[in-house]
Structure 1
Amino acid sequence: MKIQRIEAIPYSIPYSHPLKFASGEVADAEHVLVRIHCDDGLLGEADAPPRPYTYGETQDSITTIIEKVFAPQLIGLDPFDRGKVHEVMGRTVNNQVAKGAVDISLWDLLGKALGTPVHKLLGGYTDSMRVSHMLGFRPAQELLDEALRFGQEYGITTFKLKVGRRPLGLDIEACHVLRNGLGPEVELYLDANRGWSANEAMEVLRRTEGLGLTMLEEPCDAKEAMSRRRLVEKSPIPIVGDESVPTAGDVSRELLSGGSNAICIKTARSGFTEAQQILGLCTGLGVDVTMGNQIDTQVGSLATVSFGAAHEATTRRAGELSNFLDMSDDLLADPITISAGRISVRDIPGVGAGIDEDKLARYRQN
């Protein structure tokens, strides 16, 4: 069994409901479908979501690095020799989303070769995850209406509010309106996407005290080291590292420096292999983790569910899994369903993200 060919297929699907946040806005899913073909006919697939405003990767850069740099060195390797594959990719710095998609494609291949669902290969802890939904920049009442609708239609009881706006009052108002409208039983947490300074974040925490917020993610740039460490020391809720911790080494730096005391894991930027390394580091140190969303398609969301459901620590909190609902369409042949606020893993070999070839042909860009 050898790797015969690797494809990086750019495609674009518009969002029916664009998501706005402190570091950018997503109106179209301009992603890359990565496919690894083996000489025995097996195919491994994964979705790569470029986020240039966060990691510097674009559709073009992901396509180029995979097809022009990685593929010539990986063709001919046994896909089970993942250590060799990662050694090859490790020679090129950065490009975490491209590397993550190659890694997930390999795991998908291995699951199919072994006739086993990937979530069982990864750990098989449970068969579903609770869902958290992300709410973007909108007027407070519209945010409440959206949250109430998602609670009623899908049973979702956890929401992440995108914050980081100036003036701070816009976000503070949204926190109060959501809490008053949703009641105390619904979990709310915040993600500022580096939109504030650490001092501004402390002011927001002061003015939202008593609302029962559970986490604050990436409140400011990690380069603001001293003030961020002071924020972590004074905050009554966990300060979650996200954009600042794409690799296991970055996680170590943030935890050791005191810049974060919880970590967001995103399989889209780490693949499954480095995600396991990050999870092991966090569980060994007693640090809480969350499963994050890179505004993923259903293909990417299934990968997150496969990893998150595989481990006990990643099921303690709801995973960010539902923003594909804001897309006008998707590539997945068998669409995801959210029932009673949960998404189930696919009990079939691999990750379970079968692609609708007609839709891929419609939305591909080359």
Structure 2
Amino acid sequence: MKINRVEAIPFVIPYRKPLRFASGSVEVAEHVLVRVHTDEGVVGIAEAPPRPFTYGETQAGVIAVIEKLFAPNLVGVSLLEREVIMSRLNRTVGNPVAKSAIDMAVWDALGRTLDQPVTELLGGYTDRMRVCHMLGFDDPAAMVDEAERIRDNYGIRTFKVKVGRKPFQLDTAVVRALRAGLGDEVELYVDGNRGWSPAESARAMHEMADLGLLFAEELCPADDVLGRRWLVQQCDVPFIADESAVTPADVTREFLGGAATAVSIKTARTGFTFSQRVHHLAEGLGVEVVMGNQIDGQLGSMCTVVFGSAYRLTSRRAGELSNFLDMSDDLLTEPLQIADGTLTVRPGAGLGVDIDPDKLARYRQDR
């Protein structure tokens, strides 16, 4: 069960509809397929979605750090030596997406070697999660139309609304239009991607107080230290730390500093090993958790549901699992299916999914 090779394969798949938000936009999936090979012929897989506007990683950077630094240091290490693996990866500062993809591919290889599903190795609480859909920037009518289509076609009844533009002329109007159009049977929460100031955020949340919002996420920068702490004290809904809480240590600082009262776990940036640590921290402190989305493809989305369904706390809320629907294609042999508002873990060892070699050959960029 020893690692003998790590591959980093760039691929590009366009989106049918770009996702736009306060800190950037995604119009094409320029991702990296990571494959961890073992001396027994087992291959574990995971997806690295670089987000340069959030973590500073690019597709080329992910490939370079894996090929030049990470892969040589992991050859010969057992799949069971996860602390050794993480210790060697963490000799290098940053690069959370590259590290996380390797970590999840290791878990997939371990599950395949043991003939066990990763979700059961992690915790095995359930086999499915309710799905939340993210709504990117558009005019109010278009966002209501998209939400109605997603609700009617897939049964999804939780929506995260991207805000962070003009809070009083546009953003609050969008959320109000969604509540009016969708009714009270859906759950809504807002994500500012650090686009508002603390004062704008407090006023906007006050103006939306009658809309029954579930959460508020990253409305203003965490670097506005006193303003962020003041804002969180004003909020009467849990305030989610997302891009301000990349590591377990970040999560601890945000909670202890009063800058957040909930956390988004994204397996694309904390893998399975560090996501476990964030989960245990949140569980011990008694705070809310949502499973977030890195605008993942289907492989990344399966990693999210595999982890989220493994624990009671992470499966309690709808996870952000549906934005792969906007991609024009994907790499899996069997596409994911959202039915009745839920996404289910695939049966089988490891992650339960495989890569279609023909699709990989079509979209990879290194040949």
Aligned ranges for residues 168-179 of structure 1 at < 5 Å?
Answer: 168-179=168-179
Query: 2:113 matched to 1:116?
Result: no
Aligned residue number for residue 56 of structure 2: 56
**1:80 Cα deviation after fit:** 1.4
Give how far 1:166 is off.
Answer: 2.2
Name the structure 2 match of 1:20: 20
Q: Which amino acid aligns with 1:41?
A: G
Is residue 2:256 matched to residue 1:256? yes
Q: What is the TM-score normalised by the length of structure 2?
A: 0.99
Matches of 1:148 and 1:142, distance apart in 2? 10
Deviation at 1:218, TM superposition (A): 0.5
Deviations 1:76-114 (A, max 9, x none): 111111111111011111111110000000000110011
Shift of 1:167: 5.3
Per-residue Cα deviation, 1:109-156 (whole angstroms, up to 9, x for no partner): 110011000000000000100000000000101110111111110000
Say if 2:187 is the partner of 1:187: yes
Q: Distance in 2 between matches of 1:155 and 1:34?
A: 32
- The Cα offsets for residues 3-58 of structure 1, whole Å up to 9 and x where unpaired, read as 11110001100000100000001000000000011111100000000000000000
For each residue in 1:154-199, what CA deviation from the matched residue of structure 2 results, as whole angstroms up to 9, or x when unmatched? 0000000000002532111101100001001100000000111111
Letter in 2 for 1:226: L
Within-5 A mapping of 1:260-275:
260-275=260-275
SS in 2 for 1:145: helix
CA distance in 2, matches of 1:250, 1:204: 26
1:78 aligns with 78
Identity of aligned residues (%): 55
Give how far 1:353 is off: 2.4
Query: Quick one: which amino acid aligns to residue 257 of structure 1?
Result: G
- Amino acid in the other structure paired with 2:272: F
CA displacement 1:234-266 (0-9 Å, x = unmatched): 111111000000100000000000000000000
Q: Name the structure 1 match of 2:333.
A: 333
> Which residue in the other structure is 2:306 paired with?
306
Give 1:221-236 correspondences, 5 Å limit.
221-236=221-236
CA distance in 2: counterparts of 1:167 and 1:306, whole angstroms: 36
Local SS of the residue matching 2:53: coil
Number of aligned residue pairs: give it: 366
CA distance in 1, matches of 2:3, 2:254: 37
Say whether the 8 Å CA contact 2:167–2:204 is kept in structure 1. Answer: no
4+ aligned runs moved over 3 Å, structure 1: none
Tell me what 1:157 maps to: 157
- Of residues 73-82 and 312-321 in structure 1, the stretch that sits farther from structure 2 once superposed is 73-82
Aligned to 2:230, what secondary structure does the other structure show? helix
Distance in 1 separating the partners of 2:54 and 2:152: 33
Task: Give unmatched runs, 5+ long, in structure 2.
Answer: none
The answer on 1:279 being equivalent to 2:279 is yes
In the other structure, the counterpart of 2:128 is 128
Which residue type is aligned with residue 63 of structure 2?
T
RMSD: 0.7
Question: Structure 1 CA distance, aligned partners of 2:317 and 2:167?
Answer: 30
| Alpha-carbon separation, structure 2, partners of 1:43 and 1:169 | 51
